[in-house]
Amino acid sequence: KKGYVMRKSCYETNAKRTPFHKRSWKMFYCTLRDMVLYLHKDENGFRKNQMGGDNIHNAIRIHHALATKAHDYTKKQYVFRLQTFDQSEFLFQTSDSKELQSWIDTINFV
Ligand code: I3P
């Protein structure tokens, strides 16, 4: 699965609260492959990576991770929470309810 999402980091590894200067929402082109969620700057960055380019991207391991609808987060719509095995936590905003469910199912059932 691939697509544009907005991401906010809430907790870093070991449930350490993400510092203020790193908490803002950012847009990424997100791809899921081999139990890793890759966050590219844009589709171009994704293509470069596929060709073995050394483009910088974030990667989140989703083995033993859990994605759930973020009902408690009311500032934005179509948001899910991703909690990882190493206790980091992210919010992801998708474009609509179908995309929201699709990302959640893809992450939880790969
Ligand atoms: C953050 C930014 C985020 C906000 C976050 C701020 O500040 O405004 O949008 O999260 O609040 O710290 P900055 O732009 O200076 O990085 P919300 O959109 O969820 O409010 P937070 O610290 O309460 O997470």
| pLDDT digit string, tens, across residues 21-79 | 999 999 999 999 989 999 998 888 777 777 665 455 689 999 999 999 999 999 999 99
Instruction: Say yes or no: CB of residue 17 within 6 Å of ligand 1.
Output: no
Instruction: Say yes or no: CB of residue 24 within 6 Å of ligand 1.
Output: yes
pLDDT of residue 57: 60
Q: Cα–Cα distance between 84 and 33 in angstroms, integer?
A: 16
pLDDT of residue 54: 43
pLDDT of residue 37: 95
Q: Please report the beta strands in the chain, taking only residues with DSSP state E, as ranges in sequence order.
A: 2-12, 16-17, 26-33, 36-40, 58-61, 66-69, 79-83, 89-93
Q: Which of 12, 26, 7 is nearest to 89 (CA)?
A: 12
State which ligand 1 atom lies nearest to the alpha carbon of 20. Answer: 12
Instruction: Say yes or no: CB of residue 26 within 6 Å of ligand 1.
Output: no
Instruction: Say yes or no: CB of residue 75 within 6 Å of ligand 1.
Output: yes
Q: Cα–Cα distance between 5 and 79 in angstroms, integer?
A: 10
59, 38 Cβ separation under 8 angstroms: yes
